[in-house]
Amino acid sequence: MITVNFKKMKYYSKPLPEGVYIVEIINVELKTSKKSLSHYLNWHLKIIDDDEHIDGKRLFLVTSLKETCLWRLKMLLKALKYPCNGDLAHIDPENIIGRELKVTVT
């Protein structure tokens, strides 16, 4: 049995309300799934909002690099106005960090 004492917990974040938010890309990492050994991009997003309770909250997004899932990455790059020359994209995380886009939280 595992016993946890939540009385000492110093921080608790309520779930983010559903809605549309402006976010800033603060990091993009190439990762490998431990289970399937497939590659994916792990996106770290920061909300930009006038509400101090929401501003600065973090969201995470994963885009698989499997062929059957590349449509999602292509849509994301298009939303970021990141250049995709035809069928090929050279993704430079340093050129993506700081860009903003709208996301929908459901």
Residue 3 lies in a domain: no
Residue 88 lies in a domain: yes
Full-model pTM: 0.83
The identity of residue 80, as a single letter, is L
Domain count, the chain: 1
Residue 10 lies in a domain: no
Q: For residues 59 and 44, give the distance between their C-alpha atoms in angstroms, rounded to a whole number.
A: 6
> Each residue's pLDDT tens digit in the chain (106 positions)?
998 888 877 666 778 999 999 999 999 999 999 999 999 999 999 999 999 989 999 999 999 999 999 999 999 999 999 988 778 889 999 999 999 999 999 9
- Per the structure, the complete domain to which residue 48 belongs is given by 16-105
Residue 44 lies in a domain: yes
C-alpha angle 31-24-30 in degrees, rounded to nearest 5: 10
Q: For residues 50 and 18, give the distance between their C-alpha atoms in angstroms, rounded to a whole number.
A: 16
Residue 35 lies in a domain: yes
